[in-house]
Amino acid sequence: MFPGSPYAPVRTARRAGVVGVLTLTAALALAGPAFAHAEVEADTAQALAENVTLSFVSEAESAEAGFTEMRVVLPEGIAPGDVTLVEAPKGWKFRATSDGYTLGGPKLAVGTDAEYKVRVRQLPDAKEIAFKTVETYSDGEVSRWIELPGGGAEPEQPAPVLKLKAAAPGATPVSPGPAASESAAATPSATASTPAADPSEETTPVADNEEKAKGKDGGGSTGLLAGGAIAALAVVGGGAWWLVRRRSATTED
């Protein structure tokens, strides 16, 4: 109690400890929503592994609304057609998109995490893969877990990242799935989009056309030759008539 009391340092330390605990508790309570995040796990976290089940968990961070939808952008090497739904909240529907998939339905209870599982035909050959996730709540609030690590700074809203072990010896990428093949087949190519010539439109064979062309050229040449011969004969005839007439005139003189 008195400044010189031997118990004063002990009491001061106890008070400091209590204050520290209260301060830490308050800080955690205030920062609680910031610790919410999205995660992904795999039953076989290995590159080129086939038929892998991925488990996703999105922690609820709203005190007033529940989850209604998850939108995921797939990493390079996983096609939307190679992902199928395994397990999801009751009433939620799975739909593939151009770059991933969406999963949603009736809103979950406030504070309830969104948990679901999908199966991937094959994981890519990579060290880690990220699944950018956009969460939507029943009140319209959107939470984007899409940031990737880089530059040495930890992202505030990191995308779920799955680290993969090296591929097993002899593992190779599988051929594209039926869905991917059907999608490719449905897209017309530049060659296919150009209509082929209809054989019925070619009523005259090419050989006949060539013969006709030759005939036209031959007829023209023959006409020119005939005309030239007639002109030559006329010149010769005219010259002969002139010589005969001159000789007659000379004889008369």
Q: What's the pLDDT tens digit per position in 122-162? A: 999 999 999 999 999 999 999 999 999 887 788 999 999 99
The DSSP call for residue 82 is G
Q: Is 12 helix (H, G, I), strand (E, B) or coil?
A: helix
Q: Are 142 and 136 in contact (CB under 8 A)?
A: yes
Is 28 inside any structural domain? no
Is 26 inside any structural domain? no
Is 64 inside any structural domain? yes
139: containing domain: 38-163
In 83-203, the DSSP E strands lie at: 83-87, 93-96, 100-104, 114-122, 128-130, 132-137, 142-145, 161-163
**What's the CA gap between 215 and 78, in Å, rounded?**
66
pLDDT at 145: 98
Distance from chain centroid for Cα 210: 51
Predicted confidence band of residue 202 (pLDDT cuts 50, 70, 90) = very low
Is 66 inside any structural domain? yes
Check pLDDT > 80 for residue 59. Answer: yes
pLDDT at 108: 98
Non-local CB neighbours of 44 within 8 Å, separated by 6+ positions: 52, 123
Is 146 inside any structural domain? yes
Is 85 inside any structural domain? yes
Is 54 inside any structural domain? yes
Check pLDDT > 90 for residue 92. Answer: yes
pLDDT at 207: 39
Non-local CB neighbours of 105 within 8 Å, separated by 6+ positions: 68, 69, 88, 89, 90, 91, 92, 93
Average of pLDDT values for 225-237? Answer: 49
**What's the CA gap between 252 and 165, in Å, rounded?**
130
pLDDT at 151: 77
pLDDT at 245: 54
Q: φ and ψ at 20, to 5 degrees?
A: -65, -45
Q: Which of 125, 128, 121, 120 is nearest to 172 (CA)?
A: 125
Count of structural domains, the chain: 1
User: In 10 A of CB 218, how many CB atoms?
Assistant: 10
Is 176 inside any structural domain? no
Bridge partners for 128 per DSSP: 163
